[in-house]
Amino acid sequence: MAANNRSKTLKQNGVQIVKIGGTSNFLDFYYRMMEISWPYFVSIVTVAFFAINLFFGLVYAWIGGINNAAPNSIIDGFYFSVETLATVGYGNMAPISAAAHTIATLEILLGLFFTATVTGLIFARFARPRSSIIFSQKAVVDIYDGKRSFVTRLASTRMHPIADMTAQMSWIERVKMHDGREFGKVTQLPLVRATFSRMDLSWTLVHVIDEESEFAKVLAGDREYRVGASVNGLDTLLGNQTHATQGYSPEDVLFNHKFVDMISFTRQVRTIDISKLSDVEPFESDRPI
């Protein structure tokens, strides 16, 4: 597999990930076109469109043989190229020499591939599933069922529920070996409830901090860590799998705090204010958590 030395950067959940080498963007063209932003994608297509037509316009201006086109006119050659590439054919300009017919044939063939590729990419980008699940930007350590617990929550921004949901939570930290080497240690954090048959409003993920929990160890000292949470589920409207991830650094974890209520109930109406998903307030307790 071909590789290059260019670096690729991805910022996810507040962490910047840099990869050096790997598959080139050209060999992984489809993936690259799917991951870039819409403005970047439109810019690439626009530049490619004008570059192709400018190239063929220069060729037409050089070889001539275009009816009703000014001799050696790059502008006329460019506009004739646009009409040829798009298979418009207004009838004003047309090839009248064998060389011009040959170049026009090659351009029409290229235009078929270009149009099909761009159309397919646009459809694929629009059809790509977008996750509606969002996590709270903060996590808290408060009391759940009388026990000290790490708590975060999530919700869906769409009206239709998410079904068959599963969740995982991981403890991530750098560990130094006795020989000085460092590696990333990942430990699964058990959840009070790791599955949810149907999420209509929100879901609160709770990890009880017992003596075996990594949190119990970090509370006794100063350690750098990161907690990762991920969920998967089925979008009941689109019928496809959806997922979301979130990472929490020490500065994102608030002790002696609890989440603000964001769900209200009346006799027949349940209302969720997603704007309060990350809102927290101090937790009043006789003893610090």
Instruction: Give the separation between CA 33 and CA 159, rounded to whole angstroms.
Output: 30
Which pLDDT score, from 0 to 100, does residue 35 have?
86
Number of domain units in the chain: 2
Specify the amino acid at residue 94. Answer: A
The confidence score (pLDDT) of residue 198 equals 92
Cα separation, 60 vs 71, in Å, equals 10
pLDDT for 229 equals: 95
> Residue 234: is it exposed, middle or buried by C-beta count within 10 angstroms (0-12/13-18/19+)?
middle
Kind of pairing, strands 139-144 and 253-255? parallel
Task: Judge if 275 and 145 occupy the same domain.
Answer: yes
278 shares its domain with 138:
yes
My answer on whether 79 and 140 are in the same domain is no
pLDDT value of residue 219: 64
3-state SS, 110-126, equals: HHHHHHHHHHHHHHHHH
> 145 in a domain, yes or no?
yes
User: Domain residues for 79?
Assistant: 36-127
Last residue of a domain, one of 105, 127, 149: 127
* Of 106, 98, 100, 102, residue with least CA distance to 66: 100
CATH number at residue 157: 2.60.40.1400
Q: What is the pTM of this model?
A: 0.72
Boundary-marking domain end, from 110, 127, 144: 127
Ranges of the chain whose pLDDT falls below 70: 1-26, 219-222, 284-289
Which CATH number does the domain housing residue 63 bear?
Answer: 1.10.287.70
pLDDT at 176: 78
The Cβ of residue 38 has, within 10 Å, a number of other Cβ atoms equal to: 9
Shared domain for 164 and 81, answered yes or no, is no
Residues 275 and 161 in one domain: yes
Contact assessment for residue 220 and residue 238, using Cβ atoms and an 8 Å cutoff: no
